[in-house]
Amino acid sequence: MIEIFVEAIWLILPAYIANSSAVLLGGGKPIDFGKKWRGKPILGEGKTWRGLAGGIICGVISGIILNKIWNLFGYGFSSFLIFLSLSFGALLGDIAKSFFKRRIGIARGKPLPVLDQIDFLIGAFFLTFILNKDWFLAHFTLLHILFLLFLTPFLHLVTNIIAYLLGLKDVPW
Ligand code: CTP
Ligand code: MG
């Protein structure tokens, strides 16, 4: 059981890093250029080009570094395309969620519990499955996927509380 847990976290790390780097590096021009669709923002000001590019770059670089570490343990199984689909997929999932939130009338930054926390995971799974089906099926079993989907919201909560205690965030969620 603990192995599945470690494997799952380890393999999805580029997506986690891509997602958090977008928050750290984001800002500037919004992806939707401030445009609206049927009176509501297409994506909103929280999705920026800098966040998107920064997230992808950090996700891919972290994947390359992690792969060097995997290689030390004899697992030479990941390629650039996989890191790219994990990172890009994570950010596309986040963007798709914002698109959905705007359509149902939830303003930028207002919470949509659970989906806000796992949007990037769903995106990363989805794009990696589409682009690297064999790799995906060889490394992610249903158990790995369920583990991550259940664990991630809790992990989010814990990191947000730590960020709040460190004074990095105004609210602990
Ligand atoms: N961010 C960004 N570009 C991205 C993703 C995130 O600039 N592609 C930054 C934004 O500063 C954003 C912050 O990360 O405000 C937090 O991301 P998220 O919670 O996904 O966005 P919200 O502002 O909460 O907006 P939404 O309601 O659309 O989720
Ligand atoms: Mg948010």
Give the Cα separation of 30 and 159 in Å (integer): 26
Give the Cα separation of 79 and 68 in Å (integer): 11
Question: What's the token pair of residue 67?
Answer: 């792969």
pLDDT band with cut points at 50, 70 and 90 for residue 98 = very high
Ligand 2 centroid from CA 138, angstroms? 32
pLDDT of residue 77: 66
pLDDT at 167 over 70: yes
Give the Cα separation of 48 and 146 in Å (integer): 30
* Nearest to 109, CA basis, from 40, 31, 43: 43
* Nearest to 136, CA basis, from 96, 98, 82, 94: 82
Residues with CB under 6 A from ligand 1: 22-23, 26-27, 44, 46-48, 51-52, 91, 94, 98, 101, 108-109
Total Cβ atoms within 10 A of residue 17: 23
* Nearest to 75, CA basis, from 146, 11, 161: 11
Q: What mean pLDDT is predicted for residues 109-116?
A: 95
Question: Which of residues 159 and 149 earns the better pLDDT score?
Answer: 149
Segment 76-97, tens digit of pLDDT: 668 899 999 999 999 999 999 9
Q: What mean pLDDT is predicted for residues 142-146?
A: 97
What's the whole-number average pLDDT of the chain? 94
pTM score of the predicted model? 0.94
Strand partners, 41: 36
Give the Cα separation of 173 and 155 in Å (integer): 11
Atom of ligand 1 nearest to the CA of 44: 28
Ligand 2 centroid from CA 109, angstroms? 5
Amino acid at 9: I
Please name the residue whose Cα sits nearest to atom 12 of ligand 1.
Answer: 46
Q: What mean pLDDT is predicted for residues 31-48?
A: 98
Q: What mean pLDDT is predicted for residues 132-152?
A: 96
